[in-house]
Chain A
Amino acid sequence: MSAATPTAGITPYAPRIRARRGLSVGFMVIALLAITASMLMLGALIVEIAVDGAARLFTDGSATVQEVRGETLIDLPTPENMNWLAWAMPVAILLPFLGLRVVRSLIADIPALAERAIGFATTLPVAVFVHILYVRFESAYYIEYAKAIGVDGASGNIFQLFAEASGFQFVRLIVAGLILPLGIIAAGWFWSNRLRRPSLLLPAIATAAWVVYLFLDPFFLSSYPSRLPAQAGLFSAITGTLYMMVITAAVAFPLGVGAAIYLEEYARRNWFSRMIQVNISNLAGVPSIIYGLLGLQVFVRVLEFERSVLAGACTMALLVMPIIIVSAQEALRTVPPSMREAAYAVGATRWQVIRFHVLPYAFGGMLTGNILAMSRAIGETAPLIAIGALTFIAFLADSPTDDFTVMPIQVFNWVTRPQSGFHEIAASGIIVLMLVLLVMNAAAIVMRQRTRTDW
């Protein structure tokens, strides 16, 4: 033992606890400030985009008539009955929920079936009411529209107007007229099933969608690119994106999930599967532009797809495949081994085990991964530029071998132009792009939560 026992006499410690505590708290505050500041910065940027881009997406209530490529396009004024309708809608949607709540508080222990019945009984009339209101409103709108463009709409027959309406307006008529009532019914269903969160989410989304829809200016979304910022639109980019996404998902999902199943369920742990695994994680780190060059040489030149939707979708499928594989593998790993063993124990073959026990369990997770992969693909620009997707597409792709453009390429094109008018519509394009991404991410999150089963 050393002679000096540390406990003897005054200890040479100076813990300065107050100072250190202050430092610790200060550190937390700084970290919190840094995080908040960066979030605020991003928030400010988003607000800036929203302010810049909103002008083209929403009507300001004034009627404008534009001559575009020989067609007369009319921006109708907001009908008078629209405003009260917009604000009455959230109330109308929330009423049945409140009603059910009151019933619940009055009668304890309602039987499940009765509760469901009450849920429906209260939501159904509201949904019907909404639909009737909508049709009345829309027919009034279209009578105005018909008068303005000189179609004989005096009869006010909505079916005739359907016939006259252009493609986009037709879709708008159908979708908005159906989605909202159906959304309300679905909300009622969720509510009566005691799934509280979706039941609040759905009316909120339905209301927001309704308000957005009422104020939305269809012009930007239904026009083709133009040399003049005031006439340029996102129509061909939206349809191109949709087209490409469908093909990308159709190619990438089976391939990625197949690879994941092989790696998780079939492959033995040897050098080969390790090599594939390392390879996949490296592919995830390859810059996207390099995939573009691969697509350029393989799909565009060797396979002669030309600069088509198909070439773009195949390139994109290769790009997102590592994401799909990895997330599908994770989903497969969550399947408890006891489930496989139970299935094997009753004599199922390996494929039967996978098909009937493993896949159904892991499918939700796989789908989530697929949605996230698609949301990555929607935002990717560089590889499509490399394979030569065009920006000035004044037609819609009819077949997978047609030329195409997508939303981010259109945005890129507008951002890089010097005129500030183009910068504004770039912001509008970004809003549309981000909304699509937001919806996809929300869907992925909801799906992840709903498919999570605890065993």
Chain B
Amino acid sequence: MSVTVRIPTPLRRLTGGQDKVEAEGQNLGEVVAFLEGEYPGIKARLCDDSGELRTFVNVYVDGEDVRFLDGLTTATGSGNEISIVPAVAGG
């Protein structure tokens, strides 16, 4: 159940400079936990103290904003592309 995760610049220091990594997980929360195992510290950057996605982080699964889906419980599966994009842009 491998997914591809696109990593934005502010997080690339944690991924050794990689802008794209592979991860596993049946849903987005599991993918984040997987990433935390591989790249310690990344979860705290994506999620706040209560474990929810931070206000200024947008996450997309195959181009769809997960806030239109099921947030961290959004199902993920083989071949999905997950994009992490800073929210402070545009307008």
Do the two shown chains form a genuine complex with each other? Answer: no
User: Residues of A with Cβ closer than 8 Å to B?
Assistant: none
